[in-house]
Structure 1
Amino acid sequence: MEPVAGRAYGIADKVEAFVRETIIPFERDPRATSHGPSDELVMEMRARAREAGVLTPHILADGSHLTQRETAIVLQRSGLSPLGPLACNTMAPDEGNMFLLGKVATDEQKARFLGPLVSGEARSAFFMTEPAEENGAGSDPSMMMTTCVRDGNDWVINGRKKFITGADGAKVGIVMARSEDGACMFLTDLPDPAIRTVRVIDTIDNSMPGGHAVVDIVDLRVPASQMLGQSGEGFTYAQVRLSPARLSHCMRWHGVATRAQEIATDYANRRMAFGKALIDHEGVGFMLAENLIDLKQAELMIDWCASVLDTGSAGTIESSMAKASVSDALFRVADRCVQVMGGTGVTGDTIVEQAFREIRAFRIYDGPTEVHKWSLSKKIKRDWKAANA
């Protein structure tokens, strides 16, 4: 692989300095609630990022996007604090939604919906997942229950969505629904009285503003001009978004895991037990050594997958490999950090316990590890059949 351009390291260094010096002190801010940081806190941090020149750093002033390999370097640094991606505007779902709109939206749609996201003035939500108890779309999007019907110059959408990250407080929505042609995507302004938050769910993670909501969509009317792409092509567009989005999650949580390792390492070198520092006990030192190995292997997997995406490949198989392996590796890192720190590791005195919770959730969203392994096993079978035809 060719070396990554130097511009990425310059941007990443600025992002890291900003996160460490300006954003980490916000980690104890009471506006970081159990359902995610408040919009007041998000906008305050983004104002700081704008002043520092690190807001939406992966999208350049001319509108061009860093390569995936360059983006990986920048997003890993923004993830050194759970609040860093929010402050720098590199957080899900906005980062993935910006990528999708940049690829699929019309110029008019970009001006209206993408512009406020890139500037950090608005948040967005991606309405795809549906309640499992109603047998709706989850890891299998073909089970989509939400419908859209053409009515003159409008589409009328009805359905229920669940685990919709950031819906509460978002200004831009991307809604997936099923027409006679197949899956469709629509852009809509939020809030809208036809999109009703039933409840915000209590979940293990709390890094994303607005939390994760159950939402009813009742007779939502969307002009045909706000359909994203073509009717029936929604699953294709979903893959445009999801393959790099899975990798972006890997990038951000790699940063959080790196920070947890820093904290655990500091603790192990300062804490004394049985006449010596914890780091000098093999049981502890070996856990930190294993963390270094997992972090480096995860970094290499991210870089490899990013390089594949940069060739123009859809990268579906590669992103499944990265998502499954990196999420599990980073969870091992976070788990060992908690273990190294003992009682302190399960308190809110540091971000280590939050890293553990957030990365545990990461193993499920954007496809559980088992779904990605199932996808990979199907490829193995296809390849075997092709080789033995």
Structure 2
Amino acid sequence: MDFEHSPKVQDLRRRLLAFMDEHIYPNEKRHAQEAHASFMNAERTGGPYTGLPLMEELKRKARAAGLWNLFLPEDEHGAGLTNLEYAPLCEIMGRRYWSAEAFNCSAPDTGNTEVIARYGNEAQKARWLQPLLDGEIRSSFAMTEPAVASSDATNIETRIRRDGDDYVIDGRKWYITGAMNERCKLFILMGKTDPDNLDRHRQQSMIIVPRDTPGITVVRDMALVNHYDAPFGHPEVIFDNVRVPASNLLLGEGRGFEIAQGRLGPGRIHHCMRMIGMAESALEMMCERAVSRVAFGKPLSDQGVWRERIARGRMLIDQTRWMVLHAAWRMDTVGNKVAAKEIAMIKVIAPNNCIQVIDDAMQAFGAMGLSQDTLLVNFWAYARHLRVADGPDEVHTNAVAKQELGPYRAKVA
């Protein structure tokens, strides 16, 4: 294993850091103001969240700087980076939870773009791929449902029924990230085309559903730890007799799980990469607070408990980073399927380790750490949601245990 950055990555990293210093950090206040205005407008009108003028400006600048679609390994569409090469760049973008969109590297668009690029037919690519690559539209991934335990995706109840040249979709989804935004133009939806198939992993399919198709109703936005994430949102969505052409099906009936495994591996590790960046920012804030804040006659940095927490933060972040890099290296060398254990491990380790760092930083700021005056609450909400998103801790822990126990069970079989 060689985790040294290649000259190409070193150059991209240098340029990305400079972009963050020049364009992202100085615009934090403006971003917060525009996001709040988008939320208030949607509250007043009952309509979707509007896009942010700042983000459109940043996207033009990032594209001009050659910092665009860095997540895509395909040279013809993206930067041609491996997972290992992308990791330090994704971490930098994660230092501000909202900045990845400026580089067209934000979820769920990254995963959806990869799905269409890898599994879509030529007509699907012609209609949807280039607008996503250009950052002109946004998308959503409709999988989670409120009525069933979606941690076991075989429970999904949404039906995709063939009717002549169309498929008809009926179901209810929620926490569908991005679907509140006015620029969301499509869903990639997972549902059952063959619910009676004895192979429970061949019952599901994925299909592209244009956002403006009749029968789609956004019921409400769902709060994320009591935070409404404008301008993206995570709404509850009803699909009632939604009719789309049969040609919108991805790859074929019964292949939804196959697509999901190809999509969720990179998606999970990208979340973990971004999470490290947030934890680094939280540790920086904690250190700055510790040397400037005086309590009981001396700076926090001179008090043993805070030194312990700062040291713990560095150790937790570095543990997480090396585990993520190892998982990325495994994905690049043996493939996502073989690297499933490593992906599962970092999906548990990253949010739990980083939550601890962020929580300690919040404690250092006292009441301020719980307020809107720092980004720590946003970081904490992102980290906490990641213990559930893309599969909860329990599912991934169970998967790791199964692989560890496999050889021992074989001996006694």
1:248-295 per-position Cα deviation (integer Å, ceiling 9, x unaligned)? 100111111111111111111112223332111111111111100011
After superposition, the CA RMSD in angstroms is 2.1
Deviation, 1:208, is 6.4
The separation in 2 between residues aligned to 1:212 and 1:235, in whole angstroms, is 23
Deviation, 1:307, is 0.7
Correspondence for 2:379:
355
Aligned residues of 2:9 and 2:85 also touching (Cα < 8 A): yes
Alpha-carbon spacing, 1:304–1:38, altered in 2? closer, same or farther (3 Å) = farther
Correspondence for 2:67:
54
Which of 37, 40, 45 in structure 1 is aligned with 2:52? Answer: 40
- The yes-or-no answer on 1:11 pairing with 2:12 is yes
Aligned residues of 1:16 and 1:80 also touching (Cα < 8 A): no
- Specify every segment of 5 or more residues in structure 2 that has no aligned partner in the other structure, as ranges: 41-48, 195-201
Correspondence for 1:176:
190
- The yes-or-no answer on 1:299 pairing with 2:333 is no
Correspondence for 1:167:
179
Correspondence for 2:368:
344
Correspondence for 1:104:
119
- The yes-or-no answer on 1:157 pairing with 2:169 is yes
Q: Which moved more, 1:245-254 or 1:262-271?
A: 262-271
- The yes-or-no answer on 1:327 pairing with 2:330 is no
Q: Secondary structure at the match of 1:32?
A: helix
Deviation, 1:182, is 1.4
- The yes-or-no answer on 1:232 pairing with 2:254 is yes
The separation in 2 between residues aligned to 1:12 and 1:364, in whole angstroms, is 30
The separation in 2 between residues aligned to 1:367 and 1:350, in whole angstroms, is 29
- The yes-or-no answer on 1:85 pairing with 2:100 is yes
Aligned residues of 1:24 and 1:83 also touching (Cα < 8 A): no
Deviation, 1:365, is 1.0
Q: Which moved more, 1:313-322 or 1:332-341?
A: 313-322
Correspondence for 1:117:
132
The separation in 1 between residues aligned to 2:26 and 2:150, in whole angstroms, is 37
The separation in 2 between residues aligned to 1:43 and 1:172, in whole angstroms, is 20
The separation in 1 between residues aligned to 2:310 and 2:240, in whole angstroms, is 52
Q: Secondary structure at the match of 2:176?
A: strand
- The yes-or-no answer on 1:249 pairing with 2:250 is no
Alpha-carbon spacing, 1:39–1:350, altered in 2? closer, same or farther (3 Å) = same
Deviation, 1:62, is 2.4
Alpha-carbon spacing, 1:43–1:188, altered in 2? closer, same or farther (3 Å) = farther
Aligned residues of 2:220 and 2:235 also touching (Cα < 8 A): yes
The separation in 1 between residues aligned to 2:336 and 2:385, in whole angstroms, is 28
Q: Secondary structure at the match of 2:169?
A: strand
- The yes-or-no answer on 1:259 pairing with 2:281 is yes
Aligned residues of 2:35 and 2:52 also touching (Cα < 8 A): no
Aligned residues of 2:358 and 2:379 also touching (Cα < 8 A): yes
Report the residue type matching 2:35 in the other structure.
A
Q: Secondary structure at the match of 1:126?
A: strand
Q: Which moved more, 1:34-43 or 1:90-99?
A: 34-43
The separation in 2 between residues aligned to 1:92 and 1:82, in whole angstroms, is 11
The separation in 2 between residues aligned to 1:13 and 1:381, in whole angstroms, is 44
Aligned residues of 2:223 and 2:229 also touching (Cα < 8 A): no
Deviation, 1:372, is 1.2
Correspondence for 2:34:
31
Q: How many residues align?
A: 386
Correspondence for 2:411:
387
